Amino acid sequence: MRAAPTALTVIPALMIREAIVVNGRAVGGYAWAILEPVLGIALLTLVFSAISSVPPIGAVYPLFYATGYLPFLFWSQAQARLMGSARSSKALLEHSSVTIPDVLISRILLAAITSAVVMTLIYAAIRLIWAPQERIDIASMSGAFVMTGLLAFGVGTLNAGIAGLFPTWEKIWGIGSRPLFMISGVFFPFLMLPETLRTGLWWNPLVHVVGMTREAVYAGYDASYVSPAYVLGFSALAAITGLALLLSSDRVRD
């Protein structure tokens, strides 16, 4: 008698399926996962280097913007994939062996693996070409990466729960969250801002994960404002609330 599927077998299968859906079977789909952040960093470097020859931190613009853009992109793409879980996985959820936590975990794991590979390649290239003197603290960078993933899981799960009740929420969030790119520290070191702005922006958890990332790259970076406890608490509360909404929603079980 064949054993019933478990999470250990279901989640890898869902990850493979998700990889095909997101990137397709062609090499071009995976190449775009690297090309998109490279183009984003290149554009930021081109624009701001025309204004000033020296970045706010360090000696080269590509590294400075990579430490802001890459964690933000990881968070943005991962939470977006999780937000669409309830809508795009209805057929899968009809199978008794597949649960909504399985779908959420498979999506965040795939996003994390993809982003980890992309970030490693980009940071290695930047160091090799522009900043061989910089020494990245691998342990601190890993901690910042995990924190970013947890934040993406929490926000994505919460949005999935809300979208399960109110389908138009995906569009509302898509528009309403756009300013986050401007106010999450991608363009500026947090402590360079006026205190009145810092007081309000501190509550944006993305400011903390970007700060953690920059602390891992720049030895002299002042990240005294960063609170991992706040990010963990925010992520946990969002994830628990989102899961409660998803598991209680009749839409998930339609």
pLDDT 10s digits, 152-161:
999 999 999 9
Helix ranges, the chain (H): 7-23, 27-49, 61-83, 85-88, 90-93, 100-129, 138-165, 169-176, 195-201, 205-217, 228-248
Query: 212 and 143 in contact (C-beta within 8 Å)?
Result: yes
| Average pLDDT of the residues in 65-88 | 91
pLDDT for position 6: 65
The pLDDT, as a whole number, for residue 131 is 80
| pLDDT for the residue 90 | 66
**Three-class DSSP category at 250:** helix
- State the pLDDT confidence band at 222, using cuts at 50, 70 and 90: very high
Q: Where are the domains positioned within the chain?
A: 7-253
* pLDDT recorded at residue 225: 96
Write the pLDDT tens digit of every residue in 160-216.
999 988 889 999 999 999 999 999 999 999 999 999 999 999 999 999 999 999 999
Phi-psi region of 185 (alpha: psi -120 to 50; beta: other; left: phi over 0): left
pLDDT of residue 16: 86
Who contacts 32 (Cβ-Cβ below 8 Å, separation ≥6)? 23
Please tell me the predicted confidence (pLDDT) of residue 223: 94
The confidence score (pLDDT) of residue 227 equals 97
pLDDT tens-digit readout, 97-123: 778 888 899 999 999 999 999 999 999
Take residue 52 and report the two structure tokens written for it: 């000033």
Cα 99 from Cα 187, distance rounded (Å): 39
User: Can you tell me the mean pLDDT for 3-30?
Assistant: 73
Please report the pLDDT score of residue 190 as a whole number. 94
Instruction: Compute the mean pLDDT over every residue in the chain, rounded to the nearest whole number.
Output: 88
How much is the pLDDT for 5?
63
pTM, to two decimals = 0.91
Asked which of 134-148, 150-164, 237-251 is least confident by mean pLDDT, the reply is 237-251
pLDDT band, very low/low/confident/very high, at 3 (cuts 50, 70, 90): very low
Q: Which two tokens stand for residue 116?
A: 């980890």
